[in-house]
Chains A and B, each alone.
Chain A
Amino acid sequence: MTVELFVFVFAAAACLAGAIGVIVSRNPVHAALSLVGTLFGIAVLFLAQDANFLAAVQVIVYAGAIVVLFLFVIMFLGVDQVENLRIEPLGAGQRIAAVVLGTGIVALVVMALWSTDWEATGRHSAYQALAKEGQPDINVLGEALFTRYVFAFELTSVLLVIAVLGAVVLARRSARIDEIIDPGQAEREREIGERIVQAEVRAGVEPDGQEADLVAAAEDEARETEEVKA
């Protein structure tokens, strides 16, 4: 049993388990954590194929930035409630159709590989060899990025600026605050006010009226929200 086989089997198992976890997890937080498993497994497979720089970038960008962004959004919006996968509004037979389609994609790729006898067709190293004498992969990759692919590299900076502008425009709050309706907010605020009062009563502190005002304010707000909705 070679080391590469050992590494491949474990990394592939992590990838597949993570991918299945993303699909079947009811809780979005669990799905995000399963995604980390897949991304990490792929980073290990990069390492096994001598793509050391890409493995590091994979862990830093994906596991370190993208998944954290996902978790930020999940926690920030409080959408981490468990969803029931059975009552999701899926059309009749869509689940079966999806599985058939997914299996079909995999079968197609495997058949294509089989038809070429499991080998890549095409010329070897038409432009720049990956493995050069005494040079790590990051040198070779950097040289390619800043010579042949330098125009594409510069274009990515434009893409990133556009993405930042788009995120700012999308994340900006609406000018009219009335447009934003959070159905649970007033209720939550009232609950918190009541809990403060209860805790103080339990602790033997006389409610000095300030908390009662809070509760009243929260109730007023709830009524206003109902009116806006109506």
Chain B
Amino acid sequence: MIVADLYVTPAWYLVLGAVIFGLGAIGLLVRRNPLVMFMCVELMLNAVTLTFVTFSRMLNDVGGQATVVFVLVVAAAEVVVGLGIIVALLRKRPEATADDLALLEG
């Protein structure tokens, strides 16, 4: 059986991370709902954290995992500020898309 000879190499994780990053990028460009665009940014961030953890294991260095902790903190801060902006936008116009961000001007 061929499957028995298959071993999960770290490269598999890296390819998976790249695919998730690509899907997030596509979603960010295709969708117009600011909330869903934000979720796509989260997807891209997560793909990168997966890559960091994989490299951390490949090189046997704790630096990758430490970076993931900082990415998590930045993601939390980013979500708080980003959702604040989205709430301010959607309060003015509930059906707003990303094109309506100019509404917040002034």
Contacts and interface: CB of A to CB of B under 8 A. Distances in A.
Contact of A140 (B42, B62, B92): B62
Given A8-B12, A130-B65, A22 B39 contact: yes
Interface string B36-73: 10111011001001100111111111110110111011
Contact of A160 (B50, B66, B73): B73
A102 B25 contact: yes
A35 B61 contact: no
Interface of A: 1-2, 4-5, 8, 12, 15-16, 19-20, 22-23, 25, 28, 31-32, 35, 38-39, 42, 45-46, 48-51, 53-54, 57-58, 61-62, 65-66, 69-70, 73-74, 76-79, 83, 88-90, 94-95, 97-99, 101-103, 105-106, 109-110, 113, 118-120, 122-131, 137, 140-141, 144-145, 148-149, 152, 156, 159-160, 162-164, 166-167, 169-171, 180-184
Q: Please provide the 8 A-B residue pairs with the shortest distance between their CB atoms, ordered closest to farther.
A: A170-B84, A98-B29, A163-B77, A102-B26, A109-B18, A118-B11, A23-B27, A106-B22
Interface of B: 3-4, 6-16, 18-27, 29-33, 35-36, 38-40, 42-43, 46, 49-50, 53-63, 65-66, 68-70, 72-81, 83-88, 90-92, 94-95, 97, 99
